[in-house]
Amino acid sequence: MQLNQQHDWLETLAAFKHPRVVTMLFLGFSAGIPILLIFSSLGLWLREAGVERATVTYFSWAALGYSFKFVWAPLVDKLPLPWLTRLMGRRRAWMLTAQAMVIVAILCMALVDPQSGESQLTLMALAAVLLGFSSATQDIVIDAYRIESAEADLQALMSAAYIAGYRIAMLVAGAGSLYLATWFGSAAEAYLYQAWQMTYGIMALAMLVGVTTTLVIREPEITSVKPYHYSNTEYLRFFLLFLVAVLVFIGCFYFSGAAVAAAKKTLTGLFANRHLASLLIETVRLLGAVTVTGGVAFGLVKIGLVKYEILNHTYVMPVREFFQRYGLSLAWLLLALIGLYRISDIVLGVISNVFYYDIGYSKNEIASAVKVFGVIMTIVGGFVGGLLSMRFGVIKILFVGGVLAAATNLLFMLLANIGYDLTWLYIVVSADNLAAGVASAAFVAFLSSLTNISFTAMQYAIFSSLMTLLPKVLGGYSGSIVDSIGYSNFFLITALMGIPVLVLIVVSARRFVRA
């Protein structure tokens, strides 16, 4: 019996050499470069340039494209790119296009000095939004490629390899960018824009790893999926509908600026709390923009700009199939679990680097502990999570990851009370990143198991968008919340957020049968 178990473990480890697993390591690297250039690295750049903490955390909303990517996932799934799709195939063509857009967005950010005034901050925000949109598009294609290119049994290890590549890229974009900015001459007491400009230029070059991988790999072969064929004109109208919706959404934010400012002023006087007033108004603003955009899109469909058949194939059928497959009650239960599983670590993660900075750690200390050592621990956690998921099942490791993710937030509370202490910094970073690696590997495999191969891009985009939507919206207010209640109370709240997640996992485990 012991020999058989040892043989099983050896077979599991040998699967790491599979070409598809290795491919996901490089694609994970490509996917991981942009994220910290929007979050922590950009946050430190802005803080070093003298931007207020609350404004810095608002920039995390630039990554909301990750949370709304299901809106344009059907375009990526169905819309052929002229010439490029015929040459490279549907997945590789979109992958290469998204990677080119990421490079352009990073270079645009490099051309903006956030210390030069509010107009420059606006340009930085627009470039960051473009980066979030482009990176989310790349994620849509990579996720679809991963699910379509291998059987379900290999998904946990492919997820682990993806996470490893992703975290290595975060090491490059996180620690690497901090080291480079310091080496080029920028510091808290002596901000130098040119140092950050060169740093972001180098990060754009790092994306060539993904470009090279896309050019080398083969298109996944899927014979079980029946394609939908529409004319180029119909596809173009579909794209125009999406473009109009985006412009309407942006317009709602642009033209509501004066009214929002007045409402914030009124509510601030009413509640005697500027941060609470901003939270309420911006939430209403976001919901209003989504409502108006949906109404305009519905009207354009009604007048015949786009055939309902196309929308049915791309938006309605993937959602309907999911609810039909699992039943109404279980489907909603699974969606609730997806939407809340990452809430503890994402909400905390938005402000973690600012927290380290505020209690006295230097950029180099943050880079060494968080970006280097922390990433190594995440990679270890990812591979451990992948192996354990294959051996003991995804649901069990999902629960273990949920417990660890919530519990490690309490260590941040302890660090806030201790203050500057390098030993405790490494302890907290080790535990937090190891837990994140285990949880992420199991969760990605879990999401992959929920996806129907006939609707890969759309369904997985919905799942991964839902996974980050609420956490990132709340994370955008983390700076304001900390200003109001302090770091210790904030970290306690984020830990308590993990309790409903564990309840959902237990209830789901009793009813969910993996497809």
Q: Give the N- to C-terminal CA distance of the chain in Å, as an integer.
A: 29
pLDDT value of residue 63: 63
Distance CA 437, CA 400 (A): 11
Q: Which residue has the tokens 């992958």?
A: 95
CA–CA distance, 66 with 472 (Å, rounded to integer): 9
pLDDT recorded at residue 138: 94
Q: What is the pLDDT of residue 391?
A: 74
The mean pLDDT value for 471-500 works out to 81
The per-residue pLDDT for 4 is 44
DSSP 284-346: HHHHHHHHHHHHHHHHHHHTTSS-HHHHIIIIIHHHHHHHHHH-HHHHHHHHHHHHHTTHHHH
Q: Which residue has the higher pLDDT, 360 or 375?
A: 360
The whole-number pLDDT of residue 360 equals: 84
Q: Taking a C-beta distance cutoff of 8 angstroms, is the pair 67, 469 a contact?
A: yes
| Per-residue tokens: 461 | 């985009």
- State the pLDDT at residue 2: 41
Q: What is the pLDDT of residue 134?
A: 92
* Sole residue written with tokens 């699974």: 334
The residue-averaged pLDDT of 98-125 equals: 89
Instruction: Please tell me what DSSP assigns to residue 70.
Output: G
Single-letter code of the amino acid located at 479: G
Q: Which two tokens stand for residue 389?
A: 């998921």
Q: For 163-177, 310-324, 350-364, 468-482, which range has the lowest pLDDT when averaged over its residues?
A: 468-482
Pick the closest to residue 161 from 38, 37, 41, 31 (CA basis): 31
Task: Give me the pLDDT at residue 14, please.
Answer: 52
To the question of pTM greater than 0.85 for the whole model, the response is: no
Can you give the pLDDT at residue 3?
Answer: 39
Q: Exposure of 182 by Cβ count < 10 A (0-12 exposed, 13-18 middle, 19+ buried)?
A: middle
pLDDT tens-digit profile of 207-240? 999 999 999 998 887 644 445 566 667 777 877 8
pLDDT interval class at 487 (50, 70, 90): confident
Task: Look at residue 512 in the predicted model and tell me its pLDDT.
Answer: 64
pLDDT band at 103 (very low <50, low <70, confident <90, very high): very high
pLDDT score of 8: 53
Question: Hey, how many other C-beta atoms are within 10 angstroms of the C-beta on 223?
Answer: 5
pLDDT value for 58:
60
How does DSSP assign 231-257, residue by residue? -HHHHHHHHHHHHHHHHHHHHHHHHTH
Is the pLDDT at 6 greater than 70, yes or no? no
- Per the prediction, the chain carries an average pLDDT of 81
DSSP class of residue 360?
A: T
Give me the percent of the chain exceeding a pLDDT of 70: 88
Structural contact between residues 92 and 219, judged by C-beta atoms closer than 8 angstroms: yes
Residue 434 CB-half CA count within 13 A: 11
Q: What is the DSSP string of 381-434?
A: HHHHHHHHHHHH-HHHHHHHHHHHHHHTHHHHHHHHHH-S-HHHHHHHHHHHHH
Query: Which domains, and CATH codes, for the chain?
Result: 16-230+307-511 (1.20.1250.20), 231-306 (no CATH)
